[in-house]
Chain A
Amino acid sequence: MTSWVWLAVALPLAGFLVNGALSLRRPDAKGVVSLVGAGVSVAAFLVSLGVFAELVARPPEHAAIVRLWSWLPVGTLQVDLAFQVDQLSAVMLLVVTGVGSLIHLFSVGYMREDPGYARYFAYLNLFIVFMLVLVLGSSLPVMFIGWEGVGLCSYLLIGFWFSDKANADAGKKAFIMNRIGDSGFMIAMFLVWRAFGALDFATIDSRAADVLVPGGAIVTAITLFLFLGCTGKSAQIPLYTWLPDAMAGPTPVSALIHAATMVTAGVYLVARTNVLFAMAPVSSTVVAGIGAVTALFAATIGLRQYDIKRVLAYSTVSQLGYMFLGVGTGVYATGIFHLVTHAFFKALLFLGSGSVIHAMHHAYHATHAHEDAQDMRNMGGLKRYMPWTFWLMTIATLAIAGIPPFSGFFSKDEILAMAFARGADLPVYYLFYGLGVLAALLTAFYMARLMAMTFLGENRTGERERAHLHDAPWIMTGPLVVLGVLSAVGGALNLPEVFGGHQALEHWLEPVTAPAAAFTRLEVPHGATEYYLIGAAVLIGIVGLVAGWRATLARPIPTARAAPPERGLALVLNRKYYIDELYDTIVVRPVVWLSRAVLWRGVDQGVVDGAAVNGMARLSQGLGWLGSRLQTGQVGVYVVLFLVGALWVLGAVIR
């Protein structure tokens, strides 16, 4: 089955082509599109299951490389278009195709009335293609194809309703910030080529110890540049501002791309190149530090956002910070574990909010009101009208807050515990631990705030709208149920020994993280320390939830229209610390000025048009004028020139 893994890529690609053709020819053939679009995704999932089953039956020591064709034979460099099937890529395969399929099914219901239905599924299928190429790539360039491709699909899907300029701008913002990160990825690739003479992961893993000096400048440079790519793709400081804006796209897109899969590509990259990061402790600390700071930073912003999707977007940024804290600390398997659990509960949260927004839209549409369907201040008390959505989202909230026995607790707690353990080596990790704990508190708080504002208390939507609020149809609620179950029991994937488990995922990924293990030694907390840490995590979670719940419902919440303007700290948080404005001033304006004044007027008009093009013409004209001056028509002048020539020849002969 492993050699058939390319089928998992080919099927969604076929889906893209079919749906794309349909979107151009027969955009209203929604039945076919649904079948093809969702069908190929489910088929890819089945292929992934097959691959996984084979790996379970015969766990290989080394990755199996499925070579499709030779792509770049350049001198001594040989880059093949090849897929690498090992434990890590199998996990990612399952997550991408599994959660992806659920979201495809959800989309069938959510996007039913959209005129761009076929186009949507075409793009969504294409995204699966690129994401799979990313996680299956056996070398950095192949991974980069997927990396860039998912950025493209992200742009296409964020700006899906592009007739509204704000959406198109959000798509552009995402793409451009991603590209800034991509330049880091490329520089890292050049450095790797320089050091290794090859770009495939097998070579990197096996020869890193020989080629690179641990802690040296080269490996630190490589990893820092790789991480720059990660900050772009996975929305960490400083390149995170595109993610909240990306909520302009359809909600299933936000669930798939900006929660479960694309944004986790950065974490996957670090896990894949774990040997390099393990050899560069400076870079790992940077990774962990930025992860921790981002986790807290984004959580604070989420406290004061009123758009339900914005809260979840900042929550995603924050949770990605946790994942980077994990891989930065050196526990790559735990980072991946959190990636998996996060995919479950964050997708659930997004899809749930999608159901809510869907219902709100219907309500406002029916009454011809023009309120914001995504503003939580217009919601409230929806528990009564949408019970399934409410209870499923509650499961996700408990998971994200880190309440046992839900999945989020196990992954988040382990990351924090290992960070604390690393503090014995590097005291700065105690600081990271503290930031992580604080962020966990705020996470619980704002999630409780979200649930309270949306589902509890009094309904603020309006008398007439209420009649139209109800749970989403089963095509949409079904996937939520599946995700709810996974969010609840997902912790079993990597149950630690203290709870009677066998750390299954970590052992499963051991062959992949082995190269890094040679360079790190981490003391797993035992006994009393471990219990204290667990207790602290649970306590934080409960305190946060309760505080958020009580604080939100303490006073009546005004509707969006009637809400008074924010003031003071609340204003700063609501305006995201004015970071967007800051970037605009220090980056965007200078670049635009540079482009307009220097590159356009100066270089393009002045040098290229003026000097080069027109200058050439003027030069030719000038030379021609000079030449014409020779043609005076006067014999005397001609004679003189003739004589000059003759003398010249004579001189040459005499010599």
Chain B
Amino acid sequence: MTPGMTLLGPALGLSAILFSLGVAGVVLRRNAIVLFVCIELMLNAVNLTFVALAQLHGASGQIMVFFVMTVAAAEAAVGLAIILAIFRHKQSVDLQNINLLRG
């Protein structure tokens, strides 16, 4: 087995840990931008999984990474634009105060 293959297990484990950290961050933080950052962290963990398994399943793993990155970029752009727009109204990015859609 190539060196990369032996790292497969540990790489997946690392990915799991990073993903859990991202989830914890999303639940725990009130700042909208930091929320986004944690979501990016989760996406990165997923990327790591794809890359690690690309050794098993071929190039399609790395290609998925491309798409994930692209979508993440698009999402970050739009999401940050939204936060900007909200900040203009509320002068704050604290998610506790953004509750106009309350039912």
Contacts and interface: CB of A to CB of B under 8 A. Distances in A.
Contacts of A631: 101-103
B27 A633 contact: no
A630 interface: yes
Interface string B71-103: 000000000000000000000000110111111
A643 B27 contact: yes
Interface residues of B, number: 14
A628 B35 CA distance: 25
Nearest to A639: B26
Nearest to A640: B27
B72 to A, nearest CB: 17
A634 B96 contact: yes
B98 A633 contact: yes
Interface in B30-85: 30, 32, 35
B98 A634 contact: yes
Interface string A422-446: 0000000000000000000000000
A635 B35 contact: yes
A639 B29 CA distance: 11
B26 A643 contact: yes
- Where chain B touches its partner, the secondary structure class is loop
Given A643-B23, A643-B27, A630 B96 contact: no
Contacts of A163: none
A632 interface: yes
Contacts of B35: 635, 639
A636 interface: yes
A643 B19 CA distance: 12
Contact of B95 (A627, A628, A635): A635
A205 B91 CA distance: 98
B27 A639 contact: yes
Contacts of A643: 23, 26-27
Contact of B96 (A628, A636, A639, A640): A636
A646 to B, nearest CB: 9
A41 B99 CA distance: 86
B103 A636 contact: no
A634 B30 CA distance: 10
Interface in A271-303: none
B5 to A, nearest CB: 24
Nearest to A631: B103
Contacts of A639: 26-27, 35
B94 to A, nearest CB: 10
A643 B32 CA distance: 17
Contacts of A634: 95-96, 98-99, 102
A627 B32 CA distance: 25
Contacts of B103: 627-628, 630-633
Nearest to B102: A633
A471 to B, nearest CB: 91
A640 B30 CA distance: 13
Contact of A636 (B23, B30, B102): B30
Interface in A597-655: 627-628, 630-636, 639-640, 643
A632 B30 CA distance: 15
A357 B30 CA distance: 100
B90 to A, nearest CB: 13
A160 to B, nearest CB: 66
Nearest to B39: A639
A509 to B, nearest CB: 84
Contacts of B23: 643
Contacts of A640: 27
A643 to B, nearest CB: 6
Contacts of B27: 636, 639-640, 643
A155 B100 CA distance: 70
A631 B103 CA distance: 5
A635 B36 CA distance: 12
Nearest to B27: A640
A252 B102 CA distance: 79
A628 B101 CA distance: 11
Nearest to B29: A636
Contacts of B96: 634, 636
A639 B98 CA distance: 14
A635 B32 CA distance: 9
Contacts of B100: 633
A627 B103 CA distance: 9
A633 B100 CA distance: 6
B63 to A, nearest CB: 23
A635 B27 CA distance: 10
A353 to B, nearest CB: 81
Contacts of B102: 631-634
Contacts of A635: 32, 35, 95, 98
17 contacts: A627-B103, A628-B103, A631-B101, A631-B102, A631-B103, A632-B99, A633-B98, A633-B99, A633-B101, A633-B103, A634-B95, A634-B96, A634-B102, A636-B27, A636-B95, A636-B96, A639-B35
Interface of B: 23, 26-27, 30, 32, 35, 95-96, 98-103
Given A630-B103, A635-B95, A636-B30, 6 more contacts: A627-B103, A632-B103, A636-B27, A636-B95, A636-B96, A643-B23
Interface of A: 627-628, 630-636, 639-640, 643
Q: Please name the 10 residue pairs, one residue from A and one from B, whose CB atoms are nearest each other, closest first.
A: A631-B103, A633-B99, A633-B102, A633-B101, A628-B103, A635-B95, A634-B99, A636-B95, A639-B26, A640-B27
